[in-house]
Amino acid sequence: MKRREFISGLGGAAIVWPLSAAYAEPAPTVGLLLPWSESDPAAIGYVKALREGLARLGWREGENLKFEQRWTSDEIERTRAYAKELVELRPAVIVAPGPAFATIRGATRTIPIVFALVSDPVGQGFVSSLSHPGGNTTGFMLLEFSAGGKFVELLKAIAPDTKRVAVFEDPTNPTTPQWWRSIEGAARDFDIEPQQALVRSDRDIDAEIAAIARAPHGSFIVPPQAFLLIHRARLITGAERERLPAVYWNPLYVKDGGLLSYGINPATQLANVATYVDRILKGAKAGDLPVQAPTKFELLVNLKTAKALGLTIPEKVIATADEVIE
């Protein structure tokens, strides 16, 4: 090859390569607005489940995907600030579990949003219907509020002498009125006196546990709310200290020493969320994807805790449990 042709060929190659790189599409961004504390191992596990779910579908951070995640610790002002921040970044899709969803939905009606751990998206006005959510929103449901009756039923089965039950709730959580009505009605059907325990601090939790323990045959129920999950150690320790039977919604409570839980596994749901994120990244419209209801519910029992409380768990409960901790 002549020297002039060789140099010309190099010059052509030098021009073509930068142009192709310049026009390569940037990796899409997934925004995560997370209602938990970034130091909570359980919450870290939920995000890991989502990331692993996306990786199985071919989406890997640093290769063809970016993440922008914000941890709010379920604090109202921090949630609002981070919602605004994420919207300004213009991600391809935002994932918002639990109470974080209502905030991000108020911040954008154009960026696709996938929610998780939301109890009643239709009743709360988040979507038009489960089959056709419409707008920029779709996602995965948590427990329906009717599960409050199941909590009471299980409580009565494992602690038949129960006369009073406190329902722990966060007064700022939009699901508080619905969970209270559901559990209150079911408790009265079982001749159990319900009382609402509204808490926003460890001090509140301690005070409410002490109040329910002042008379015999007390107990409590912990429904699905982010604040309560963040402060689960306080609830579990208080139940142990005052020897109170308690029913929770998340298996983490039981694995951390709680008595009994009934509900879904959030890590499994976050892994499922990845399938909708994948479809949206490939061009699907969020409002065209039907809201998914949970199909698997887990019952966990901690026999070690039951023994410490002086309770004998009925064989029928143990036989139907998905996991028994001894």
- Domain holding 98: CATH number? 3.40.50.2300
Domain-located, residue 137: yes
Residues 167 and 101 in one domain: no
Task: Find how far residue 157's CA is from the centre of its chain.
Answer: 27
**Closest by CA position to 115, among listed 130, 102, 131, 128:** 102
Say if CB 73 and CB 36 are below 8 A apart. yes
- The tens place of each residue's pLDDT in the chain, 326 residues long, gives 444 444 444 444 444 444 444 445 789 999 999 999 999 999 999 999 999 999 999 999 999 999 999 999 999 999 999 999 999 999 999 999 999 999 999 999 999 999 999 999 998 899 999 999 999 999 999 999 999 999 999 999 999 999 999 999 999 998 999 999 999 999 999 999 999 999 999 999 999 999 999 999 999 999 999 999 999 999 999 999 999 999 999 999 999 999 999 999 999 999 999 999 999 999 999 999 999 999 899 999 999 999 999 999 999 999 999 999 99
- Full residue range of the structural domain in which residue 215 is found: 147-263+298-325
Domain-located, residue 3: no
Its pTM stands at 0.88
- Look at strands 93-97 and 137-141 and give their pairing: unpaired
Number of domains in the chain: 2
Give the C-alpha separation, 289 to 267, whole Å. 21
What are the Cα distances from residue 45, in Å, to 8, 101, 236? 55, 19, 20
Give the C-alpha separation, 257 to 129, whole Å. 38
At which residue do the structure tokens 């919602």 appear? 83
Residues 258 and 271 in one domain: no
Say if CB 112 and CB 92 are below 8 A apart. yes
Residues 41 and 128 in one domain: yes
Domain-located, residue 273: yes
Give the C-alpha separation, 277 to 149, whole Å. 33
Residues 53 and 197 in one domain: no
Domain-located, residue 6: no
**CB neighbour list of residue 305: distance below 8 Å, 6 or more residues apart:** 240, 254, 257, 258, 259, 325
Domain-located, residue 4: no
Domain-located, residue 19: no
**Closest by CA position to 70, among listed 43, 104, 36, 32:** 32
Give the C-alpha separation, 151 to 149, whole Å. 5
Residue 195: Cβ within 10 Å count: 15
CA-angle at 135, arms to 60 and 180, nearest 5°: 90
Give the C-alpha separation, 132 to 111, whole Å. 17
Residues 178 and 199 in one domain: yes
Residues 122 and 189 in one domain: no
Residues 214 and 231 in one domain: yes
Domain-located, residue 107: yes
Residues 70 and 182 in one domain: no
- List, as one string, the DSSP characters of 252-295: HHHHTT-SEEEE--HHHHHHHHHHHHHHHHTT--GGGSPPBPP-
Residues 182 and 226 in one domain: yes
Residues 88 and 126 in one domain: yes
Residues 238 and 273 in one domain: no
